[in-house]
Chain A
Amino acid sequence: MSLLKVTDLVVSYGGIEALKGISFEVDQGKIVTLIGANGAGKSTTLRTISGLVPAKSGRIYYEGRDITDFGTQKIVETGIAMVPEGRRVFANLTVLENLRIGAYLRKDKELIEEDINYVYDLFPRLKERSWQLAGTLSGGEQQMLAVGRAIMTRPKIIMMDEPSLGLAPLVVKDIFMIIQTLKSTGMTVLLIEQNANAALHACDYAYVMETGRITMSGTGEELLASEAIQEAYLGKTSKG
């Protein structure tokens, strides 16, 4: 059974349909990516799953449970964490405080300390800077912190919105290393990317979105081999 299942999801912003009925599944322990151009509805999909935007119709199931009408708070509690676009760390709080905010809804005090150490083991850089204000971190470090903060909610699935946006190519490489690390710990990742090349190489399964619809899907290799994808997203011409 898939961990997360979205069926016929429709979302509209004041009459304009951003999602026109999309369906997809995310299996346990896999990296699944949604790729597509600006305005395809990728971010809207994530925001709807995490309850920040209401769905007009269609259902979202998590572990077989219908979570479509849960509030954000309850959705976070059930185990869906989000790493928002642009990282959005709390700039005037320290690294440690940021991590503690991630655990805000948790009541298991002892395990929180354990998880903080777990995040520090995963990202030693954060440990070095645990007292530094998050706003003073570099872009890559902030991304680590955003992921760490998401881990602190004890999720079963982490949704990442454009993690490579605005970062230098070398840092982007680091980001995808982070995603692989997450996978190796058994985490499920739903990844949204404009950087189709990197995302397709990293993922187990991918969906292609265009103006609110899913137009294609397949494993990373299948899509990388597809001519339509190469033309539209990877910048190769059919002649070349």
Chain B
Amino acid sequence: MKKRGNRRLIISLAVVALIYVAGFIVEQTCGSKSMAVTVLQKGAVYALIAVSMNLLNGFTGLFSLGQAGFMLIGAYSYAILTIPMAKRAAVYQYYDGGIVQFTIGMIPALLVAGIVAALFAALIGMPVLRLKGDYLAIATLGFAEIIRAFIQWDAIGPLTNGSNLLKTYPTLKTAMPGNTVLFTFIVVGICIGLILLLINSTYGRAFKAIRDDEIAAEAMGINLFHHKQMAFVISCFFAGIGGALLAMYQGTLQANGFKSAMTYEILLIVVIGGLGSVSGSIIASFLFIACSEWWLRFLDTETMIGDFKVPLLAPGFRMVAFSVVIMVVVLFFRKGIMGDRELWDLGSRRKAKGGSDIK
């Protein structure tokens, strides 16, 4: 049966390569400023964040709403460490050039962003992961809000620039000029690949066991706290990298942008894609970004057909439409686009049901 597994792997890799080439071509033909490229960039970043959230919410069964907080930590770690020395005086104009007086490369900074977020997660996880269900969600949500307020605190301004903008750090446009989509895809692809490896490992199986039945998992000798902590830290590591990528995408960074609404957007993506499906999260995140940035823009602009003003269409109506979508999804399509299956499992589903072969 190994052969079939190999063939599937080759097909999967070919499809991934095709997507990369497509992204490359889109950028070359439409230009870096086009809407399609924006969607591909932001969609990829959100895909990573959604998959990291799915690792926690969908695979380990820990309902956490702290994603925006960990993204924020990642984004700030990245920006603070990469602002060029020459520009620091201008960026930190109210804080005498800030206290961080060195600059590191972009890729190391992305890694550090993940690590700092993971460290915070390890610290927060110790008390918070003893909570269950809704309580965990509330505690993590509260943490995200505290982080947002804390970063804007004037006393640590020399580090975070308070509530002022962070800018002039390397962005997507400067990372690989003209090839922003490819760059985003590569970073996101590596991260999601690592998460997939984790999910399919013994640890991943233990996560799913905990999700299905904590008591039985414990009776099998799985250390609950240890594994929950591990899932939490790893998820936040990638959320941190995702946050840093988002900062790169935005070009400027301000803590105020990372409100809990952002966590809900990602939760929406995860639920629409299907809890427990990596490919679902990826598909849903591109769909969601395409809708919110591009296809549903018309909902926010006042439109006149002749003399008739189309009712309801006004700034903000897009969000109303999204609320309706999530209600419909939760009520009627609880499993989302993919359920807990993966795109690459669809072909072998019939085999999976009745097959008697051992891997």
Q: Are A and B part of the same complex?
A: yes
Given contacts A84-B216, A102-B220, A131-B353, contact A90 B208 (CB under 8 A): yes
Contact between chains at B358 and A105 (CB < 8 Å):
no
Given contacts A90-B212, A131-B353, A153-B221, contact A100 B205 (CB under 8 A): yes
Counted as pairs of residues, one from A and one from B, with CB atoms less than 8 Å apart, the total is: 83
Name the A residues within 8 Å of B206 (CB-CB).
Answer: 101, 104
Name the A residues within 8 Å of B68 (CB-CB).
Answer: none
| B216 to chain A: closest residue by CB | A88
Chain A, 81-130, CB within 8 A of any chain B CB: 82, 84, 88-93, 96-97, 100-102, 104-105, 116-117, 127-128, 130
Q: How far is the CA of A72 from the CA of B340 in the complex (A)?
A: 30
B217 within 8 A of A: yes
A50 within 8 A of B: yes
Given contacts A73-B221, A104-B220, contact A88 B353 (CB under 8 A): no
Name the A residues within 8 Å of B220 (CB-CB).
Answer: 76, 101-102, 104-105, 149, 153
Name the A residues within 8 Å of B221 (CB-CB).
Answer: 72-73, 75-77, 104-105, 153
A180 within 8 A of B: no
Chain A, 116-174, CB within 8 A of any chain B CB: 116-117, 127-128, 130-132, 149, 153
| A73 to chain B: closest residue by CB | B221
Q: How far is the CA of A82 from the CA of B217 in the complex (A)?
A: 11
Given contacts A116-B358, A131-B355, contact A52 B215 (CB under 8 A): yes
Contact between chains at B340 and A52 (CB < 8 Å):
no
B307 within 8 A of A: no
Chain B, 187-226, CB within 8 A of any chain A CB: 202, 205-206, 208-209, 211-213, 215-223
Instruction: Indicate with 1 or 0, residue by residue over A175-186, a CB within 8 angstroms of chain B CB atoms.
Output: 000000000000
Q: How far is the CA of A42 from the CA of B209 in the complex (A)?
A: 26
| A85 to chain B: closest residue by CB | B215
Q: What's the nearest-Cβ distance from chain B to residue A70, in Å?
A: 11
Contact between chains at A90 and B356 (CB < 8 Å):
no
Q: How far is the CA of A82 from the CA of B213 in the complex (A)?
A: 14
Q: How far is the CA of A90 from the CA of B208 in the complex (A)?
A: 8
Q: How far is the CA of A130 from the CA of B212 in the complex (A)?
A: 18
Give the one of A72, A101, A127 with max B CB within 10 A. A101
Pairs across A and B, CB under 8 Å, 6 listed: A50-B219, A52-B219, A90-B213, A93-B208, A104-B222, A105-B220
Name the A residues within 8 Å of B212 (CB-CB).
Answer: 90-93
| B211 to chain A: closest residue by CB | A92
Given contacts A90-B208, A93-B208, contact A128 B216 (CB under 8 A): no
Contact between chains at B356 and A130 (CB < 8 Å):
yes
Q: How far is the CA of A92 from the CA of B341 in the complex (A)?
A: 11
Interface residues of A, Cβ cutoff 8 Å to B: 50, 52, 71-73, 75-77, 82, 84, 88-93, 96-97, 100-102, 104-105, 116-117, 127-128, 130-132, 149, 153
Our pick among A88, A92, A131 for the contact of B352 (Cβ within 8 Å) is A131
Our pick among B219, B276, B351, B358 for the contact of A82 (Cβ within 8 Å) is B219
Contact between chains at A93 and B359 (CB < 8 Å):
no
Q: How far is the CA of A143 from the CA of B304 in the complex (A)?
A: 66
Contact between chains at B219 and A84 (CB < 8 Å):
yes
Our pick among A76, A100, A104, A127 for the contact of B356 (Cβ within 8 Å) is A127
| B219 to chain A: closest residue by CB | A82
Q: How far is the CA of A24 from the CA of B208 in the complex (A)?
A: 37
Contact between chains at A101 and B209 (CB < 8 Å):
yes
Contact between chains at A73 and B359 (CB < 8 Å):
no
Name the A residues within 8 Å of B276 (CB-CB).
Answer: 92
Contact between chains at A93 and B209 (CB < 8 Å):
yes
Which 9 residue pairs across A and B have the least CB separation, nearest first?
A76-B221, A88-B216, A90-B212, A105-B221, A73-B221, A131-B352, A82-B219, A101-B209, A88-B213
Contact between chains at A96 and B359 (CB < 8 Å):
yes
Q: How far is the CA of A88 from the CA of B214 in the complex (A)?
A: 9
Q: How far is the CA of A92 from the CA of B202 in the complex (A)?
A: 16
Name the A residues within 8 Å of B216 (CB-CB).
Answer: 84, 88-90
Contact between chains at B205 and A84 (CB < 8 Å):
no
Name the A residues within 8 Å of B218 (CB-CB).
Answer: 52, 72
Q: How far is the CA of A46 from the CA of B306 in the complex (A)?
A: 78
Instruction: Indicate with 1 or 0, residue by residue over B311-351, a CB within 8 angstroms of chain A CB atoms.
Output: 00000000000000000000000000000100000000001
Given contacts A131-B355, A132-B353, contact A92 B208 (CB under 8 A): yes
Q: What's the nearest-Cβ distance from chain A to residue B102, in Å?
A: 44
| B212 to chain A: closest residue by CB | A90
Contact between chains at A92 and B340 (CB < 8 Å):
yes
Q: What's the nearest-Cβ distance from chain A to residue B168, in Å?
A: 48
Q: How far is the CA of A82 from the CA of B215 in the complex (A)?
A: 11
Name the B residues within 8 Å of A105 (CB-CB).
Answer: 220-221
Name the A residues within 8 Å of B211 (CB-CB).
Answer: 92
Q: What's the nearest-Cβ distance from chain B to residue A113, in Å?
A: 8
Q: What's the nearest-Cβ distance from chain B to residue A231, in Å?
A: 35
Q: How far is the CA of A114 from the CA of B84 in the complex (A)?
A: 59
